[in-house]
A = this chain, B = another copy of it.
Amino acid sequence: MVDTRKVGVLGGGQLGRMLIAAANNLNIQVNVLDAANSPAKQVSAHDGHIEGSFKDAAAVKKLAQSCDVVTVEIEHVDTHMLEEVAGQVSVEPSWKTLRTIKDKYAQKLYLKEHGVAVAESVDLEGKGVEGLKDVGRTFGYPYMLKSKTEAYDGRGNFVVKSEESVEEAFEVLGKRPLYAEKWAEFRMELAVMVVKTKDGVLTFPTVETVHEDSICKLTYAPPRNVNKKTAQRAQELAKKAIEPFEGKGVFGVEMFLLKDNSLLINEIAPRPHNSGHYTIEACERSQYEAHLCAILDLPIDQSELGLIRPSIMLNILGGQDTDSHRKIAEKAFALRIGAKVHLYGKGDARPGRKMGHVTITKRTLAEAEVKIQPLVDFVDQMKGKEIVPHPEHKPEPLVAVIMGSDSDLPVLKAGLEILQKLQIPFTTRITSAHRTPDWLREFSKSAADTSVRVIIGAAGGAAHLPGMCASWTTLPVIGLPVKATHLDGLDSLWSMTQMPRGEPVGTVGINNSTNAALLAVRILGASDEVVMERLRVWMEGNEHEVLRKDAELLDKGYEVYLEGMGKK
């Protein structure tokens, strides 16, 4: 039964709070073990909460007695007590999983054992300053010095930049159990939320995470400038990383996308994760709902985890003022961009503390980026960061205009101007069907996996370009016949229209690039009301212009009118 079982959770911070918000929708009672008035407890009124620390064994035992399944919102818990209570109550994920993951070095070894790609790392416990220097000689500088335990949001990490900074690093972290990681030269960081249920392993979409001062600042779903195949590979890697662990629930998997496009696991977390906040608004099931489904064996399916709309999440971190988070929240409202504001109820802000977050979802990631930019600027300004004027935002192309030869470009000019006027981002490429058949094949085969939604192919003579392109893509291809030396363009026109059954080319008039562009706009407008409205207004303008001319002709008479045209 949905709302008859009780869930116990170790930790009552923001993750617990959002878990309870999801549980409240389902009327599931969640008993929280944490201090009184912790963020999670504020949104859940019943007498089942336990006051105390999630590290306290006696308190954990008491919590276990009060519920049907125990879970965590933080991994730094007493796993020995969880091991003890696991006989009487379900503990999800397993205490074994928590024990392995809470020690980051053990976590890395475990992943490596199971054939999962992780950064090279080396144990430094008891190795002292000399150990750190040895690592520098093996890994080179910079490298990451990390505490095995209790490390998060940048705390417990130190970037060792050179042998000169070894002493400082040891001073800062030397009292903790240490290990070192080889520096990963990454292109960007990606993250995937994984759902482990009794039936298998599901994944949320891949997101890009942007860190500042080692704290997550932004997430982008989908990641920027990452193709679908890479995003899929990231999901597969995340799945592979989580599969060997025992127990049910959601897991956060952070990874590096290296410059050679390979992927490396950075860290995993056995619980809901900051990089999964976007799922509240951007997916049919949030990571919190998914966690409840997983630990309570409620049905959940991969098809329910897709992205509804592209989204960007911005963390609200505490600044110098105690009310800095409120100012950011207010700015989010003031911008009227439909952003969802989440404040965690943590009281006064402290620098770097996660006080809340903002999520924006829009029809396209480009739109989301434009809309949230002033808020990102506001946050940066509060932080004292110099705001560099943004380079003009360049949205991803929706139309690819390909041509057999640069000699077609003059014919295309009028069409490209129409695309500009109607604010359709496009790209222009030279892809000859006969001189560069392999390049045309490569371009056409991958086009559907990019942002491009329509292709315009211009060609003269035999004009195989759009037809061959259409044979290698599922995108709509518009053929623009270009008048060459002979046959008045008819050769191209027929070559494009008379394609065999199976691979259509939607052909427009000879040399009429205006209409090729307008057809592309109509195709985009079919699923985009904003574009369609822009087109409607443009067409209305044309109509008015012709009507104006008609009135002028009527008024002046044809002779004066012709004079005005310089054609008397």
Binding site for B on A (CB under 8 A): 1-4, 17, 21, 24-27, 41-46, 284-285, 293, 298-301, 303-304, 308-309, 323, 326, 329-330, 333-334, 336-345, 356, 361, 414, 448, 453-454, 474-478, 481, 493, 497-499, 501-510, 512, 514-516, 518-519, 522-528, 532, 535-536, 539, 542
Contacts and interface: CB of A to CB of B under 8 A. Distances in A.
B526 A502 contact: no
Nearest to A546: B502
13 contacts: A1-B323, A2-B333, A21-B21, A303-B338, A308-B308, A453-B526, A476-B522, A497-B509, A501-B512, A501-B515, A506-B506, A506-B507, A526-B527
Contact of A453 (B27, B414, B527, B535): B527
Contacts of A499: 508-509, 512, 515
Contacts of A518: 502-504
Contact of A42 (B42, B46, B300, B356): B46
Specify which of A342, A512, A516 lies most central, judged by the most chain B CB atoms within 10 Å of its CB.
A512
A169 B361 CA distance: 52
A4 B308 contact: no
A397 to B, nearest CB: 13
Contacts of A340: 25, 284
A326 B43 CA distance: 22
Nearest to A338: B284
B522 A475 contact: yes
A24 B43 contact: yes
B2 A343 contact: yes
Nearest to A23: B43
Contact of A45 (B43, B481, B506): B43
Contacts of A506: 478, 506-508, 519
Specify which of A337, A343, A476, A532 lies most central, judged by the most chain B CB atoms within 10 Å of its CB.
A476
A337 B300 CA distance: 9
Specify which of A3, A44, A298, A514 lies most central, judged by the most chain B CB atoms within 10 Å of its CB.
A3
Specify which of A41, A454, A503, A510 lies most central, judged by the most chain B CB atoms within 10 Å of its CB.
A503
A336 B1 contact: no
A244 to B, nearest CB: 26
A3 to B, nearest CB: 6
B523 A476 contact: yes
A417 to B, nearest CB: 12
Contacts of A293: 333
Given A21-B21, A497-B510, A501-B515, A526 B475 contact: yes
A519 B448 CA distance: 15
Given A3-B326, A498-B509, A499-B515, 8 more contacts: A25-B341, A27-B356, A43-B43, A44-B45, A299-B334, A454-B526, A499-B509, A505-B519
Contacts of A17: 24
A2 B504 contact: no
Nearest to A345: B27
Contacts of A361: 284, 308
Given A3-B326, A333-B2, A526-B476, A508 B497 contact: yes
Nearest to A283: B338
Contacts of A509: 497-499
A106 to B, nearest CB: 35
Nearest to A522: B476
Contacts of A46: 42
Nearest to A453: B526
A55 to B, nearest CB: 23
Given A508-B506, A526-B476, A329 B2 contact: yes
B336 A303 contact: yes
Nearest to A49: B45
B25 A342 contact: yes
Given A284-B361, A474-B535, A526-B475, A519 B504 contact: yes
A380 B184 CA distance: 58
Given A43-B44, A503-B515, A509-B498, A21 B27 contact: no
Contacts of A515: 499, 501-504
A338 B304 contact: yes
B535 A341 contact: no
Contacts of A542: 502
A514 B526 contact: no
A170 B379 CA distance: 65
A285 B497 contact: no
A531 to B, nearest CB: 9
A504 B508 contact: yes
